[in-house]
Each structure stands twice: as C-alpha cells, then as structure tokens.
C-alpha cells in the first residue's frame, strides 16, 4: 500500500486552526505539513513583527498539541517550497490567498511553477468576506463606500466558518525548521515592547477572548459611543484580523448570531458590521488600484506642495505637538501599538493639513508602530484623510483637534490617562492648556514649554494655509 504524500499548507497572515480553508482542504487530502516562510519581500514594521512572533509561538504550540510541527524557514518562497517538496515528498501545496500586490505576484509565480512541475497547487479564500473581483459595478470597481456597502448586503452571502479539522495527520517526513528566536523579531535593547505585552494577548485564543469580551461588554454601546476613546465600546479586534488569528467570517457569524438572539442590539451590530465591510472596501480598492500605497488615487494631488519638516514630523511622532488629543493618541500608539480609530483620524488630519506633511510619512510611521498594520486599511485610510483617495473626505474637512477633544472626550478621561502631566487641569482647560491662562496654570503647577509643549502651530492659521494649498489643485 502506497504511503500518502503530504500536503504542504503555507501559513502567512492566517495563523489560526479554525476557518482555515487551505488547512481544511489539506487535511481532507491526507497528511499535512504546516509551513511558515519569512520572505524578505514581505517586510513589516517593528510592532507587527513583535506581534507575529508571539502569534507564531502560540500557533506552533496549538499545532503541537495536535501532533503537527510548524516548519519555519526564511528565504524566497518558490525556492524554499521547492526544497521542502524535495525533503518531504509532498505533491501538493495549499494556501489562502493574499491580495496585496507583492503577495499576489509571488503566489502567481509559485502556482505556475508548481503546476509546471506536476505538483498540485491550490489557493483558497480565507482573508475576506468576498473576493475583490466579485463586487463590481458595470465591470468597474467601486470607489465610494456607500454603494459598495449596499451591493455587499444585496449580493454577498457570508458562508458559515469552518471548524478546526478533526484528526489532523502529520507528515511522516518532517524537514528541519529554523528557530524563531534567530529571526530577531523581538526588540533587543532598548526593549520598547513592555506596553504592547501588557495590552495584548496575541494568538488564536487571545483573539477569541477579545471577541467574546467585545460581544459581552462593548457591542451594546458601539453605535452610540464608538467615537469616544475613553469608552470601551470598540472591539480592538483589528490586530487579530491583521494577523489572521480570527477570520472576518467568524466575526460576522458571532455578531449576527448575537443580534438575532437580542434584537435590541440590531443597530449596534449593523454599525459594527459596516466597519467590517469597510475593511473589505479597502482591500477591494487595493486589489483594483495596486499603486495606492505610493500614488494618490486622485492624480491632481501629485502636485500638492507637501512640506519637508523633520522636526515637525518628529514632534508629531513623539506626541509633543502641544495639542492634547494629538499627543495622547500618539503616546497611546507608541506604548500599545494601537490607537482608537477616531483619534487616528484626528492625528492624521493634523499631520497632513495643519502641518502639510505628506500622508505617506504618516502611513510609514503607522506601518512601523501599529500592531494591526494592514496595507489596505493603512493606505486607503490615509488617502481618505488627505482627501486624495476613494470616497475621500473633502479637502476642506480639517479636524479641529481642540473641538474634537471636547466632543469625544468631554471629561478628559482619555487625555488624563496618556498625559498625566495635564491631569490636574479641569475638564474645561485640559483640552486647550494654552488658553487656560497663566493664573489657572500657575494654580495647578504647570508651565507651558517646560511641563507640556506649547502648540507647534496655530490651528486657525494652519487651516487657512491648508485650504489655500488645496484650492490651488482645483485650478
């Protein structure tokens, strides 16, 4: 009797056992050999690498509990897969599809080469609720979210997630694996990751705990309070989605089931699922416009006179702008690798409109510091704020950081958490210490320029300058 040949299952940003179509199909075929290849072409930021290191460790342990090793390799994907085929005798390679330009190009080359060598090569949908080419209007991609959302609701049927496969059989021939510690994805000295470790539990188990916690304690206020950064009314699931520890189908199903049991949650569930479909929209745009990370979708913005100012960029990155809401958000990002979505919009608007610094520099900082760094969301959202992307915010929409702070953090709870040096100010003055007056500041022992920076720009003047620069693009 012939020994069944193993199927290599490639894992990338899908580090989970449940609802993994490629793993499911591989198990049905016979023995499986789980593999993770770190290709230098797939570089990510430091915070993303920290998370993925933790997630790979958790995923390897989950596989080991089921008698399967996780093979870790570095190098070119095609060459590495060829070596693994030779070492294991595998005659099939399965993976879940990627939709970023580099990943798709690599996978096209891989599939063509494998099929030419007589090796079965299959890719599966596992990253999105719908394939990017499935939702088109008159054979053209959507560029505005609301019609995309309506088309999604009318035409997409989200299929039921797959369970963890039963009786996973390991390959009899197991190639050697590299040691994850040698990849140096964890920070050395100085170790800046303590805040990340305190805030998150990477891995599939941590993802499910986060989802259940949101469904029990956060979904009920999502529609009314999701813009308030001090409230626990957002899911914080984005890192788990970015690393594939949960699939969007799993989240969709859990939210729908809860809303069906508790109809009073319907408005909150709809608002949350709409945000999940925004993620779909971002990947839809990146698939159809692969230059989005580098090129404005509205070509006239290529002429915008962006400023080069390393000092101003550094102050923004360090949370030293003199605007409390901006500084609180940037400090939250540095310490936890995450930032509340409303605050992301405010700090992004400040960079590209008050400081007139190129949105790509902001996107690059987010790419390096966010644990949920996602090429589609990062590119589309920065272009949205800058006014140069699809369904973009109008160029004249310039967030006032003080008014935004007062509106969404009226009692300064979020500000006091991240800016303890301002904690003694009352709810009125904490949003704008500059206008508190010398008597108020002296009473609480705060000296601007020493204990907290003065505003680096006057928002009213900066807004007018931005409007003038944007108006030139219309000529």
Q: Are 353 and 466 in contact (CB under 8 A)?
A: yes
Annotated catalytic residue within 120, 131, 275, 421: 275
Q: Per the residue annotation, which of 48, 278, 283, 367 is the catalytic one?
A: 278
Residues written for the chain: 475
Q: Are strands 71-74 and 92-96 parallel, antiparallel or unpaired?
A: unpaired
Instruction: Please give the sequence-ordered ranges of beta strands (E in DSSP) within 188-285, or none if there are none.
Output: none
CB of 474 within 8 A of CB of 454?
A: no
Helix (H) or strand (E) holding 366: helix 359-369
CA distance 467 to 149: 31
Residue 359 annotated as catalytic: yes
Q: What's the gap between Cα 105 and its chain centre?
A: 21
Catalytic residue among 131, 149, 178, 341: 341
Helix (H, G, I), strand (E, B) or coil at 393: coil
Pick the catalytic residue from 149, 183, 208, 306.
Answer: 306
341 part of the active site: yes
> Residue 182, class by beta-carbon neighbours within 10 Å (0-12 exposed, 13-18 middle, 19+ buried)?
exposed
Query: Which residues contact residue 216 at a Cβ distance below 8 angstroms, ignoring those fewer than 6 apart?
Result: none
Give yes or no: 316 in active site: no
Question: Is 280 designated active site?
Answer: no
Residue in 48, 185, 382, 384 annotated catalytic: 382
Spatial contact of 387 and 397, defined as CB atoms under 8 Å apart: yes
3-state secondary structure at position 95: strand
Output the CA angle 133-138-139, nearest 5 degrees. Answer: 35
Q: What share of the chain is helix, strand, coil (3-state, %, to 5)?
A: 55, 5, 40
Catalytic residue among 200, 252, 359, 365: 359
Burial of 471 (0-12, 13-18, 19+ CB in 10 A): exposed
400 belongs to the catalytic site: no
Catalytic residues: 275, 278, 306, 341, 359, 382
């Amino acid at each position: 009797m012939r020994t069944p040949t193993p199927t290599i299952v490639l894992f990338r940003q899908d580090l989970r056992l449940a609802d993994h179509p490629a793993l499911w199909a591989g198990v049905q075929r016979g023995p499986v050999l789980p593999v993770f290849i770190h290709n230098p072409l797939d570089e990510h930021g430091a915070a993303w690498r920290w998370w993925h290191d933790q997630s790979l460790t958790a995923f390897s342990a989950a596989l080991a509990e089921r008698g399967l090793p996780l093979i870790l390799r570095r190098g070119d994907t095609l060459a590495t897969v060829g070596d693994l085929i030779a070492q294991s005798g595998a005659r099939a390679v399965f993976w879940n599809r990627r939709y970023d330009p580099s990943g798709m190009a690599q996978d096209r080359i891989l599939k063509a080469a494998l099929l030419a060598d007589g090796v079965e090569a299959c890719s599966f949908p596992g990253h999105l609720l719908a394939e990017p080419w499935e939702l088109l209007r008159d054979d053209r991609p959507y560029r505005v979210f609301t019609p995309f959302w309506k088309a999604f609701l009318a035409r997409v049927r989200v299929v039921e997630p797959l369970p963890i496969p039963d009786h996973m059989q390991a390959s009899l021939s197991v190639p050697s694996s590299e040691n994850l510690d040698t990849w140096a994805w964890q920070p050395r000295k100085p170790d800046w990751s303590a805040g990340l470790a305190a805030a998150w539990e990477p891995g599939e188990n941590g993802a499910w705990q986060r989802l259940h916690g949101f469904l029990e304690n956060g979904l009920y206020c999502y529609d009314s309070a999701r813009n308030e950064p001090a409230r626990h009314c957002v899911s914080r699931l984005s890192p788990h989605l970015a690393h594939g520890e949960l699939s969007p189908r799993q989240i969709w199903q859990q939210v729908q089931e809860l809303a069906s049991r508790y109809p009073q949650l319907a408005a909150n569930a709809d608002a949350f699922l709409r945000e999940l479909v925004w993620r779909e929209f971002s990947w839809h745009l990146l698939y159809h416009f692969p230059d989005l990370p580098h090129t404005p979708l509205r070509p006239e913005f290529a002429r915008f006179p962006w400023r080069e100012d390393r000092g101003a960029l550094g102050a923004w990155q360090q949370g030293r702008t003199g605007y409390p809401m901006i500084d609180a958000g940037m400090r939250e990002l540095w310490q936890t690798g995450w930032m509340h979505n409303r605050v992301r919009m405010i700090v992004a608007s400040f960079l590209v409109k008050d400081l007139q610094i190129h949105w790509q520099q902001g996107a690059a900082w987010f790419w390096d510091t966010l644990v949920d760094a996602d090429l589609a969301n990062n590119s589309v959202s920065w272009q949205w704020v800058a006014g140069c992307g699809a369904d973009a915010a109008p160029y004249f929409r310039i967030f006032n950081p003080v008014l935004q702070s007062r509106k969404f953090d009226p009692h300064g709870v979020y500000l006091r958490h991240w800016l303890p040096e301002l904690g003694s100010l009352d709810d009125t003055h904490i949003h704008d210490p500059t206008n508190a007056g010398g008597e108020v500041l002296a009473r609480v022992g705060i000296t601007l320029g020493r204990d907290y920076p003065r505003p680096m720009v006057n928002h009213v003047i900066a807004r007018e300058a931005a409007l003038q620069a944007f108006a030139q693009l219309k000529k």
